[in-house]
Amino acid sequence: MAPHPFKTLNIEETRIARDVVLAQHPDVVVDFREIFLQEPEKEGMKLFLDLEHSSKPGQSPTSKRPSRLAKCQYDIIGSDKIPEYHESIVDIGLKKRVRHEVIGKEHQASLTLWEFEILVEACKRSDEFQKAIAEFKLPEGFELVVEPWPYGGLDLGSENRRYFQGLCFAQDTRSGNPDSNFYAYPLPLIPILDAHKKEIIRIDRLATGGKGDSLTGKTHSEHIVDHCQSAEYVPELLPGGTRKDLKPINITQPEGPSFKVTDESLVEWQKWRFRVSFNPREGAVLHDVHYDGRSILYRLSISEMTVPYGDPRPPFHRKQAFDFGDGGAGNCANNLSLGCDCLGVIKYFDAVIVGSDGEPKVHPNVVCLHEQDNGIGWKHTNWRTGRAVVSRMRELVVQFIITLANYEYVFAYKLDTAGGITIEVRATGIVSVVNIDPGKTSDYGNVVSGGVLAQNHQHIFATRIDPAIDGHNNTVLHEESHSAPWDKVTNPNGNFYEIRKTVVNRSSGHDAAPEHNRTFKIINPNKRNPLSGNPVGYKFVPPPTQKLLAAPGSIQAQRALFTNHHVWVTKYRDDELYAAGRFTLQSQLEVGGVHDMVKRNEEVTNEDLVIWNTFGLTHNPRVEDWPVMPSEIFQVHFKPSDFFNANPAIDVPSTKNEASVLVGKECCLEKL
């Protein structure tokens, strides 16, 4: 049977796509960046899904099956040795290229991990860089570490060449442990790589001053890390070791999981049914989400994330990563470990990645699927009889984790027994730091250890919600609750408040308004709840988090226009998947993102539409964020609103958990 149209490309399909591309470019060098699933056009996919859902379980329609397509991103290197970026769409079944695009030089392709290796090697070859490092008197046993980073936004007037930068640190190797924390010893140098020449073309020297010092003054001594302190986090290097009084908690499911996975993509759990795919830019994606046979979502993904830094000293105005667009979240996905990243009875999903030669290989365990208990789902005690009925809230979790140099992000989609979906992001890892002179403090961050300044920054995420609430023609409205004026007839005691509903008629951006309990509802205006008479729908309250703080018109602000609103509503178009547009690396302006989408001013009532939710963290670091930051957790709750005729979790069993036991008396005795 042919693979499902939403299923991630396998190794054989990836290899076919590579071979087709190579055949199109016989006399040049082809450096591959990515090969991944090109999702079918939506109109054809709607027909396919209608047939699929109307067929018998386990069967797929053989007619009107969308073509299996691969998107191939690669560089062509001709006689001038300067890479030219191409994108091709290959029909796997026909073994034929069906679309081809040469990307203009104004856009930069997303980076690859092997390009980072070029930076590190270039630093070793660069006499200028080696001389700069030699100006510092590092203690014996310390070695240089260069950490590759995206270059950031190009300054206005700069030549648009492909650059990378490296953040420099010293690692104390005296313990012999390769995981000794080098971030505790930052060095004030940033080498700049010309990726085409593969040479270090410039070295930015950083200011290390504090309050009252100039933005560019070089005030450090040659003994640059003598005032820095060890800050280990791996258990075997902790000075006092780990806690000895923490006893295990085991998550067990003696009868196995309640979910079922078929075709390495179709997940069925309780009344939920959906598919999981994985791609190098967005990571895990949910498709065709149904509850009890009713459609809720066509597609759900994390679309983008930007991390701008608030240190005005050059070159930190360029310090702004787009972790999905610049390099790809999926590319940085962890290979998850049983019993560590996900607990209980786990199902893992693999992905396929390619090297620069296009040869595919399995990227194992990039997504984990498991159930978890999330406390009481609902409860009521009949005070007359004393009987309590309590039902637990169980969630099915689809999770992936990415590591981006110093930082980790944990992304999870949580589907629950009450028909709700929670989008969760956890930020952890090690804060990005620079060197600061002894005894100084700064307006640009917080000193978290000797000689270590953690710079102020933001993490701003964008989720993409492609709804299908009982069908693909939906409408968005926002609902607010307002105090009503005193009125002798309608509000004689002043306690009445009114609900105001505003339909979003045209593509546009909107903001959270917690003072009015602004709630966004995605409704199907063509189907009404038989009890309330309201259109069936789902709702969410956008987290009222701070928007981008960089000044309007700045490079940071211009390349992240998607951060201007908490909620965007756009009309669906194929291939519009990215909140900040297709190309973010070294951008100066967001092109093709949600800001451009809403400019079309399209009608979005009773239409196939997309909702984008932007939220995030303004992170002014604490000492407690060092050396590894405790997780900061953000959640967006997507809940049914007049979609059902009653609490959909009312039939969840109120079974007593027989594994629960009373604690032994000895644990509660006071120590004398």
Q: Is residue 407 annotated as part of the catalytic site, yes or no? A: yes
For residues 301 and 576, the answer to whether their CB atoms sit within 8 Å is no
SS3 235: helix
SS3 540: strand
Cα 315 to Cα 151, 165, 216, 320, 441, distances in angstroms: 10, 11, 10, 11, 20
Q: What angle do CA 506, 511, 513 make, to 5 degrees?
A: 125
Q: Is residue 323 annotated as part of the catalytic site, yes or no? A: yes
Tokens, residue 443 = 């307006």
Q: What angle do CA 176, 180, 183 make, to 5 degrees?
A: 145
The DSSP line for 309-331 is: B---STTGGG-EEEIIIII-TGG
Q: What is d(CA 562, CA 460) in angstroms, rounded to the nearest whole number?
A: 10
H/E run at residue 186: strand 186-187
H/E run at residue 288: strand 283-291
Catalytic residue among 74, 309, 407, 444: 407
Residues contacting residue 554 through CB under 8 Å, at least 6 positions apart:
317
Start-end of H helices in 553-656: 555-558, 594-599
Beta strands in 405-467 (DSSP E): 407-416, 421-429, 433-435, 445-449, 452-455, 457-467
Of 308, 307, 353, 304, which is closest to residue 324 (Cα–Cα)?
304
Start-end of H helices in 359-402: none
Of 235, 276, 283, 303, which is closest to residue 403 (Cα–Cα)?
283
Kindly compute the dihedral angle of the four CA atoms of residues 397, 402, 406, 407, in this order, to the nearest 10 degrees.
Answer: -40
Q: What is d(CA 41, CA 99) in angstroms, rounded to the nearest whole number?
A: 14
For residues 556 and 569, the answer to whether their CB atoms sit within 8 Å is no
Residues contacting residue 17 through CB under 8 Å, at least 6 positions apart:
9, 35, 70, 72, 90, 92
Helices first, then strands: H and E counts in the chain: 6, 32
Q: What is d(CA 52, CA 46) in angstroms, rounded to the nearest whole number?
A: 10
Q: What angle do CA 320, 323, 325 make, to 5 degrees?
A: 100
Tell me the sheet residues that pair with 144. 170
Determine if the peptide bond prior to 280 is cis (ω within 30°). Answer: no
Catalytic residue among 323, 416, 608, 625: 323
Q: What are phi and psi of 306, to 5 degrees?
A: -125, 145
Of 291, 269, 293, 292, which is closest to residue 50 (Cα–Cα)?
293
What phi-psi label fits residue 556: left (phi over 0), alpha (psi between -120 and 50 degrees) or beta?
A: alpha
Catalytic site positions: 323, 407
